[in-house]
Amino acid sequence: MTRSKLEKIEGLLIFLAVLGIGLGILFNLVSCASLAELVATDKSRANPVPPFNSTKIVGLITEETDKSILVSVVADHPFAYHLSNSQEKPYHIRIDLEAADFVNLPPLTTVNKGTVEEIKVLPGGGAKRGGRIEIGLKNKVDYEINRKGDRLVIALPKGQEEASLQTVKSEKSGGSILQTTSLAAARAQDYLIGGKDILEITVYDEPDLTKILRVSRQGTISFPLIGAVKVEGLSPSQLELRLKEQLAAGYLKNPQVNVMVKEYHSKEVSVVGALSKPGVYPLTSPTTVLEMLSLAGGLV
């Protein structure tokens, strides 16, 4: 065998050796990466990340005492809510929950105790979380709100004496401050909508119809399917009824509509006197005199 052939064979063997080493290193890297991925997958399964701000409403409890009917909304941890009531028939107290899921709650519970007729659960539709709970009443009554931990308790009288449905009492017990709805917020449903107000309109189970709309200077809004709607001079509950009737007339079957005044821009108040910042202020929400004085910087 000639010297040139030996050199070629030697070069080929060196090439094959280097190739084998390279393939071995590559195989080890792939194996390590696969193992790391498998370990990460197992860890993610063993320690799932809980969903952000996931409040679960797990129970509605109705209790009867000597003087009151107690309606309790129970969650897995403390939750945010907005409470309002209707000043017109059908009377009800409404609890809006923007970030909550309802867990196995019946859509309708008949109570017929004292002033309480029924309790409705109306979850949001589609990708929209939350919803509302409505406590149907036989007549207008005063009530109390008791907020403690993961439970919201509404105490209503057993008697059926007609009341304003505006007085919401507060109390303190056991060192825990009970969260209450202010008198101004309780009167929110008395407010008459005006031009430039901003409305939040929710049609449950119809996310495409849930809108935030500004009332025009002419006192109208443009709502999907319906078109122009005259809203000036209506209370939120009156507008709910009007939208419900128009949507039910050929568009939706038994629509559930919720109207909230998100910002109050149709009313303005002049604050004058010995104040840090006297001037004209918009009423962006139900506001007391003390709150207006605070907006104006307080007394000088």
| Per-residue CA distances from 4 to 1, 7, 38, 106, 198 (Å) | 8, 5, 51, 92, 92
Please report whether residue 245 resides in a domain: yes
Tell me the pLDDT band of 199, cut-offs 50, 70 and 90: very high
When divided into structural domains, the chain yields a total of: 3
The CATH number of the domain holding residue 198 is: 3.30.1950.10
Buried residues in 56-85 as b, exposed as e (16+ CB within 10 A): bbeebeeeeeeebbbbebbbeeebebebbb
- Do 185 and 167 form a contact (C-beta atoms < 8 A)? no
Same domain, 245 and 172: no
Work out whether the CA dihedral 176, 179, 184, 186 comes out positive or negative: negative
CA-to-CA distance for 261 and 284, rounded, in angstroms?
9
290 located within any domain: yes
Domain range holding 249? 191-263
pLDDT (0 to 100) of residue 271:
76
Global pTM value:
0.43
130-149: pLDDT as tens digits: 788 999 998 888 788 887 77
Give the residues across from 214 on adjacent strands. Answer: 198
Residues 61 and 184 in one domain: yes
Same domain for 183 and 130, yes or no, is yes
The length of the chain in residues reads 300
Any idea what DSSP says for residue 142? -
| Same domain for 213 and 116 | no
Is the predicted pLDDT of residue 7 greater than 80, yes or no?
no
181 and 63 within one domain = yes
**pLDDT reading at 198 higher than 60:** yes
Say yes or no: 231 and 122 in one domain.
no
